[in-house]
Amino acid sequence: MTEFTWSELDQRAVDTARVLAADAVEKVGNGHPGTAISLAPVAYLLYQKVMRHDPAEPKWAGRDRFVLSIGHSSLTQYTQLFLAGFGLEVEDLKALRTEGSLTPGHPEYGHTAGVEVTTGPLGAGVGNAVGFAMAARRERALLDPSTPLDQPSVFDHFVYAIAGDGCMQEGPAAEASSLAGTQKLGNLVLIYDDNHISIEGDTKISFTEDVAARYESYGWHVQTVDWTNRGTGYTENLQALFEAIEAAKAVTDKPSFIKLTTLIGWPLPTKSGHHSVHGAKLGAEEIAGLKQHLGFDPDAHFAVEPEVLAHARNQAADRAAAAKADWTPAYTAWREDNLDRAELYDRLAAGAVPDLGAVLPVYGPGKKATRAASGEVLTAIAEAMPELWGGSADLAGSNNTTMKGQASFLPPERSSHDFAGDFAGRTLHFGIREHAMGNILNAINTGLTRAYGGTFLAFADYMRGAVRLAALQKIPSIFVWTHDSIGVGEDGPTHQPIEHVASLRIMPGIDVIRPADANETAQAWALALSHNDRPSALILSRQDLPIIDRAAAGVAPATEVAKGAYTLIDAEGELEVVIIATGSEVSVALDAREALQAEGVGTRVVSAPCLEWFNAQPASYRAAVLPAGVAKVAVEAGVPFGWREYVGDTGEIVGIDHFGESASGALLFAKYGFTAENVAAKAKLALSRLG
């Protein structure tokens, strides 16, 4: 076990972090000072005594990962990034929660150096931590498979997370923690700040369970450190916490949970333990009392003694140098011994994706559900993209998210009759845990590998918070959502998504892709994988759809999907009507065109698999596809919301603005007007408005 050391300068640095947190919140007038004050020693211990990292190279491949699941307490992390020398300075702390600062209200990935993931929505960070731990295992298996599991690898690292009472109450944290126990993630250490306080005060009004026992039941290694000494007096026993962390690191077959009982805001003179310090400034008198207690000038603000800052930064730099002195030679030796895998590593580190054009399946005329085509595409590209892995929330057979021939990612002893695997597997089994799945995917996709996860589209709402965080962080997670409309049929309205596609389209920063057939699905996968700056949603059908004959006269190739919306087949004769459709309704639009053309109405069909891509095209292209002065009809088996801007005031929208029912999908399509006859009639109505 590493020796625990703690000096007077270490303690002074902790107390400096406390007064900086108090001053920062007081200056801006809002924020969360209490936890940042009481957890300052915990965070300092991690950053200065435990974690392997390099402030001069925040993205160093050999670093440990840190997740502040209680993201509202952002100063817990910001003060340590300042002290360790990650690039934050006192002026940044003074600018807390103000426009353009490096210290926003919650830590933001890609914005502040040293922040591994955006946190704030409680519980999400726990899922992220599980994802980081899973990613570390997968990256090792992919890049260093020859090193025995009981031997260290350059791709090993620990994941440390701090969570609070709010995180423990949130479902996503429970989902992810349950999966972490099943996965036996021995590289994960979660510290639970058990202070019994939430916004409404003492948690006994709503939260009385034995959290440690719950984590034991999940299969975690559980320890308890009580700084309140069962309410008899407060002692920040950092050696006990350090020893608990070291003991956790020694347990390699279970994730570790450390319940740390604290007093929020300690050592504030009058407000320690009170919920008022959770999310509000403390007031000048209380801060002055804190500073006097800690030996600081009560009239000085943002005071940092040069010797304290020098100590913290030098200590962090020295530890980084020592860690790299061990890691770098091992990394160099790995590269020399693994030339092919080193080449793969370099591609992954650069975020480059291979050209998939040669391996994508090409489909001739016939019928196939786009969910089925999606599964075939995944199998086809598996060898070309060894970094790709994924699965579903217990819906592998329905979502078609399993690459054929690929083992499952799980401890070997967890293998079942249907799914066998090991730590090198590529098929993920999230269980029925949609929200955790989304958070886990987001963490994985910040790293070297690419991961996807699936469920039914109707359940996208269960994971919407994680999807929003993916978009906010510009993380290239791929969400596979099947059973995309009333075509689900007999399962009824609980499983028939109506408003979901439209609601996803209004979310900034995500590409919502609803392909018309198998070939569009193949192109959609290739395009989604080519983007590393935003998430993608693949919206796929349960039912078989006609595969468009791309060899037929006038039919555009499926590669046009890249434009978001394109002329699938143009009018014969003068253009009078444009029918815009997505997904399963494209075949309906084609049948409507045939009927209209038979009556001499020149009709163009536009397939619009991704409106985000279409909206990004030049105005000239968009105007050419959807020209002014012609009748327009939009057809999509979902709410009409959003289509008016494409069809104009005189256009028609064939949609559904009510829930479905339990009946065959074909019957429902006919009953609700998704037929060639109705679409053709709507086209004529729109045409009549043009005179």
Query: Would you state the structure tokens that stand for residue 26, as one six-digit string?
Result: 């007081």
593 pLDDT band (50/70/90 cuts)?
very high
Q: Which residues pair with 653 in a beta bridge?
A: 634
CATH homologous superfamily of 366-546 equals: Thiamin diphosphate (ThDP)-binding fold, Pyr/PP domains (3.40.50.970)
Tell which CATH architecture fits domain 8-320: 3-Layer(aba) Sandwich (3.40)
Distance CA 273, CA 529 (A): 49
At 343 the pLDDT is 98
Tell me the pLDDT tens digit for each residue of 182-224: 999 999 999 999 999 999 999 999 999 999 999 999 999 999 9
Q: With 80 as the cut, is the pLDDT of residue 243 above it? A: yes
Catalytic residue among 139, 387, 434, 520: 434
Tell me the pLDDT tens digit for each residue of 607-639: 999 999 999 999 999 999 999 999 999 999 999
- Cis peptide bond prior to 557, omega within 30° of 0: no
Q: What is the largest CA-CA distance in the chain?
A: 90
Q: 3-class SS at 124?
A: helix
Burial 55-76 (b: 16+ CB within 10 A, else e): beebebebbbbbbbbbbbbbbb
Active site residue 175: no
619: number of Cβ within 10 Å: 7
Give me the residue spans of the domains in the chain. Answer: 8-320, 366-546, 560-688
Tell me the pLDDT tens digit for each residue of 40-81: 999 999 999 999 999 999 999 999 999 999 999 999 999 999
Distance CA 139, CA 148 (A): 14
At 84 the pLDDT is 98
Q: With 70 as the cut, is the pLDDT of residue 544 above it? A: yes
| Cα 488 to Cα 420, 523, 544, 660, distances in angstroms | 30, 24, 11, 10
The residue ranges of DSSP E strands in 336-425, in sequence order, are 366-368, 388-392, 408-409, 421-422
Alpha helices in 29-147 (DSSP H): 33-38, 40-45, 74-84, 90-94, 124-143
At 2 the pLDDT is 81
1 pLDDT band (50/70/90 cuts)?
low
Residues recorded for the chain: 691
Three-state secondary structure string covering 4-48: CCCCHHHHHHHHHHHHHHHHHHHHHCCCCHHHHHHCHHHHHHHHH
At 399 the pLDDT is 98
| Strand (E) or helix (H) holding 65 | strand 65-68
Which amino acid is located at 81 in the chain? L
Tell me the pLDDT tens digit for each residue of 469-524: 999 999 999 999 999 999 999 999 999 999 999 999 999 999 999 999 999 999 99
Per the listing, tokens 């962390």 go with 245
Tell me the pLDDT tens digit for each residue of 413-466: 999 999 999 999 999 999 999 999 999 999 999 999 999 999 999 999 999 999
| Cα 453 to Cα 440, 463, 590, 595, distances in angstroms | 9, 11, 32, 40
Distance CA 409, CA 141 (A): 10
- Which of 567, 560, 643, 572 is closest to 606 using CA atoms? 567
Decide if 8-320 and 366-546 have a common fold. Answer: yes
Tell me the pLDDT tens digit for each residue of 248-272: 999 999 999 999 999 999 999 999 9
Which amino acid is located at 44 in the chain? Y
Of the candidate CATH numbers 3.40.50.920, 2.30.42.10, 3.20.20.70, 3.30.565.10, the domain formed by 560-688 belongs to 3.40.50.920
